[in-house]
Structure 1
Amino acid sequence: MAGRPAAPAPPARLRATAGAMELLCRLGGIHGELMMHQSGGCCDGSSPMCYPAGEFIVGDRDVLLGLLDLRLGVGDIPDDLPEGSDAVPVWISGSQFQAWKHTQLVLDVVPGRGGGFSLESPEGVRFLSRGRAYTAIENDLLEQYPPLVGLDWEEGRRPEVPDDILVVAEAADACPVPGMLQG
């Protein structure tokens, strides 16, 4: 008796550009292990903030968007989960996740001054979140795979190894700009 075909894996909730990954590698060389949190507003607006690991308290209901793997290059698919200084967990508050759950966030870097609390501030660049709306099929798949929250992480649970490309050369490779597509 033939087995049922495997269900397709859900799309990644987070991707990063090569520029963002390069900046994270540089910051990691200066500050050690890193973490990120997608800010929900206030002082620095709604922007991704980079901290030394453990310098931002992750709430029990904060949602893990993804675990960036600093070993990966453009187009690589990971074989295993990163650990230590190769791993950069990216979090978002639970309430903000509810507003963004239908959107794949793409971590990018652009010229300009970053948020006052984020590690890239003195570098002359800032992290920026871009987004791509999931298709109806992707949303249906994601409903079957609830994301990890801070309490899960604290209890030692980790995400599955993604089978998706997590690093793209440019943001437009993950979230094309309408009118910029080649026909």
Structure 2
Amino acid sequence: MSVDTKIRPLSGRDWDSIIALERRAYSASGLSEDEAVLRSRGTDHSSCFVLEHRGQFGGYLLALPLPLFRCPDLERCESFEGRSDNIHTHDMVIRDEFRGQGFGSLLLTYLATTAQSRGFRTASLVAVHGTEVLWPRLGYRPHSELTLPAGYGASAVYMSMELKPPSEV
């Protein structure tokens, strides 16, 4: 990671930037979440991160411990309590002007390393907008047989991968 780039835990002061970026990324497709619903995804600050580049907000990643094969409903606030050995990446968005510089991969690698050190054994996500073709190269496998909440859209695909224990990385 360059000295100009920093990943840090999400804090309360980040929400205005996160909400604005989430709206720009998803409003046109109908996948944008209500503010209260989105905030309910970021309650575990040990698995939600902000990317800063040259002192500017560059993007975010919201992840939460959820049982494997479960994902949040985009249309309602939910409580995510309890222990899980799966970390679910709910959302990741990089600002347009910072795309194509590897920041998405940097955030995902940071999450995987953090999750592995905390004892998570698997990682999951829901691929939207046809991105399911991108995730296998990072180790994710599709689970097309799963029915997802309607809010994700008909083409959304649940995907997961095993995380290697820190001793095997």
Normalized against structure 2, the TM-score is what? 0.31
Q: Which has the higher helix share?
A: 2
Instruction: Indicate the structure (1 or 2) with the bigger Cα radius of gyration.
Output: 1
